[in-house]
Structure 1
Amino acid sequence: MNTNKISITAFSSISPLGNTTEEVWANYLNENHCFSKQFLDQQETSVAPLSSDSKKIIADVRESDIKYKFLDDSVLFALAASRKAVEQAGWSSDDVFGINIGSSRGATDLFEKHYKEYIDTGKAQTLASPTTTLGNISSWIAHDLQSVGPEISHSITCSTALHALLNGVAWLKSGMADKFLVGGSEAPLTDFTIAQMRALKIYSRIDQDQESWPNLAFDFEKTQNTMILGEGAAVCCLEAGETENAIAYVTGVGYATEVLEHNISISAEATCFQKSMKMALKDEDLESIDAIVMHAPGTIKGDLTELRAIEKVFGTKLPLLTTNKWKIGHTFGASGILSLELALLMMQHDVFIGVPFGEKQDRKKPIKKVLVNAVGFGGNAVSILIEKR
């Protein structure tokens, strides 16, 4: 079997943009952001939560098995997305497929609740440990889908989901598997998580209204950090070779880690991104790359260093550049796979989704090849090149 290309045969997500492909695309076509106010960390805070319709779906998932009542939202989000993706791909419990769903924080809300109860009472609940381990996301998906293949969970901070995709590609190219379900899930809208981001001085303090845009991801001249957290999950089905039901192909993967200058920073010209992009683009004519979906979290340094890295790799002839964090916020470990969703949709519809307050870019050709970037604390970058079928 020719495994030079890896087929993406299905994709599913649940996020502030919605829970169906049609709803997600409709929301990308408008210029409204998904932020609202919640009382977190003892004050009103801009966040991007799931829609009320999506929350009903999660409630239904929780009620679908008595054991699911004790699970964290990060697991339930991933269950909802995985069920739909596997159905779309036509996989059944008779198929042997691998699972790699990662998360930066894992069972954040549940862990905080269990820990508070322990502090208050001096006792831990029986299920406190098994329901808050990072591995319980992929384990419960395997249970739900009755899968018997390998299942992996990991955290590589904000590049977690694209590292899951890297893992899936590696298994498929090695011949150790023919199919892999990969993605990321995050439910970080909790008091302690918000407090941690505020302590880092990176959380947005801009008032939430349409004129001011509370998250200024892709504004390279901003004078304050504007990161906002969102929640959600997304997964895709990967299959070795070129399949008839492919919606796109993975044609290049790249990764790199750089020496830490600071716990949360990357170098001034994002050396890790330069290396990951060059690896993913190894055999490509740079002028054939039509667009890049940037990581661009909305911080001053994070956005600018990635732009500098892209300029170093592509020179003066830049592809179209965009990001989705101005709209849905930063979903930590799920962010890379949600960026991949935007790339897939732009290719499918041949429509470029730019940033409304960004500089207008001149589009000259169809969107057939898109590069997707992600990076996390620790300078661990991933770049994935996808190509239209």
Structure 2
Amino acid sequence: MASVSALGSDFEEIWQRYTDGEHYLRVKDFEHFSAWVAALPAADLQRIEALAQSDAKYKDLDKTVLYALYVARKAMRNAGWNAGDDFGVNMGSSRGATALFEKYHREYLATNTSSTLSSPTTTLGNISSWLAHDLQTKGPEISHSITCSTGLHSLLNGVAWLRSGMSSKFMIGASEASLTGFTVAQMQALKVYARNSDRYPCKAFDMDKSRNTMVLGEGASVWCLEAGETSNALAVIEGVGYATEVLKHNISISANADCFQRSMKMALGSLPVTAVDAIVMHAPGTLKGDSSEINAIQKIFGKHCPFLTTNKWKLGHTFATSGLLSMELAVMMLQQQQVISVPFAAEQQPVKELNRVLVNAVGFGGNAVSVLLRKK
């Protein structure tokens, strides 16, 4: 695996920042307002800019593509894969090339014309096709968008390809570069965005909060999946689950998150609920989002509730990438045998041993995915 987020891109640094009890959100000034965001560190942005300048074809690409290229190269090296290997690529993004799209749209409104590259650089398939080009893979390339569960849907697709026997290796991931004024304004219009100046602006998994506190982040995460158990595996995907609710509202899910109940049950399969030691929740920091997921967990696990945590209070809600960054946290907890607590959440019973961690993600319209990871 490899990632870049507000926590950085180095595994040791990321884990250290998970354990320090601090958040990595900051106030960003947009054209007409200021808002909390979780932006990439300056050092990573410099390296990404160097990547963009390294090839004349890359200079006109959107940040979503560049972020994905930056981490895909790392993931490939970490997995021991080679250029030219026959593996598939499935990259997702909720917003896609939003910065470029907004730039070209402003250009059109001002001049009534559009640049030559405005279409090819803003299509959704732009991400996977450039990864396949850069990594020289001959496998299939797939791009998709399923709101905030997009990243885990990429994993579902990769698992399906591996189980089908059509591929033995599959690269999956998601990328989001959505910290534009227009995107933040859209979230503010939904009345879900953080407006406080507390020590912790995003109160994800604070069940006593009285207002919505979502904060947007940016980042990319790429994973190399292989069939079977390899010697260099980080963890085992033991179960996957998915579900979609019938829409009752454009943005919300049911009070008891029926989609999460079904996806978690599917991911568990025949395992008892006591087999799960921790859950990395979706928990976006909204009143409805956090409470509905907690209700779903209580419905499934009852008195055997695992340790609960989330990372959005620390690195923001990264839309499509969020589920995969949650999965990264789950893998790190399994490897380090240490849970990461949310500092302002209610105290929970300590965990003696971590063998299995469940990861949840959901998007607008109740598109839920749950992934059960087992320690290697």
Quickly name the TM-score band, shorter chain normalised: over 0.9
Look up the equivalent residue of 1:386 and give its one-letter code.
L
1:5 aligned residue? none
Mapped contact 1:41–1:194 kept (Cα < 8 A): no
> For the residues of structure 2 that align with 1:81 and 1:200, how far apart are their CA atoms?
31
Tell me, yes or no, if structure 1 residue 323 matches structure 2 residue 313: no
Shift of 1:361: 1.1
- Verify the 8 A CA contact 2:194 2:202 in the aligned structure 1: yes
Matched, 1:22 2:9: no
Shift of 1:286: 1.1
**Which 4+ runs in 1 deviate beyond 3 A?**
none
Q: What does residue range 1-389 of structure 1 map to in structure 2 within 5 Å?
A: 11-40=1-30, 42-207=32-197, 209-210=198-199, 213-389=200-376
Aligned residues: 376
Q: Runs of 5+ in structure 1 lacking a partner?
A: 1-10
1:6 paired residue number: none
| 8 A contact 1:41–1:195 mirrored in 2 | no
CA contact 1:40–1:194 (8 Å) conserved in 2: no
Q: Which amino acid aligns with 2:49?
A: A
Spell out, residue by residue over 1:369-389, the C-alpha distance to the aligned partner (whole angstroms, 9 max, x if none). 000000000100000000000
Q: Contact 1:50/1:232 (CA < 8 Å) preserved in 2?
A: yes
Identity %: 59
The amino acid across from 1:240 in the alignment is A
Kept in 1, the 8 Å contact 2:84–2:135? The answer is no
Q: Is the 8 A contact 1:217 1:323 kept in 2?
A: yes
Please name the residue that 1:4 is paired with: none
Tell me, in whole angstroms, the C-alpha distance in 1 between the residues paired with 2:366 and 2:351: 33
Measured after TM superposition, the shift of residue 365 of structure 1 is: 2.2
C-alpha separation in 2, matches of 1:337 and 1:64:
28
Shift of 1:41: 5.7
- Classify the secondary structure of the residue corresponding to 1:236: strand
8 A Cα contact 1:99 1:152, kept in partner: yes
Partner of 1:3: none
The root-mean-square deviation of aligned C-alpha atoms, in Å, is 0.8
Q: Distance in 2 between matches of 1:315 and 1:39?
A: 44
Shift of 1:20: 0.9
Unaligned runs of 5+ in 2: none
Which string of whole-angstrom CA distances, capped at 9 and with x for unpartnered residues, describes residues 183-237 of structure 1?
1100010011011111111111011x52xx1000001121110000000000110
In 2, Cα distance between the equivalents of 1:245 and 1:39?
Answer: 43
Structure 2: distance between partners of 1:30 and 1:364: 19
For normalisation by structure 2, the TM-score amounts to 0.99
Offset, 1:153: 0.4
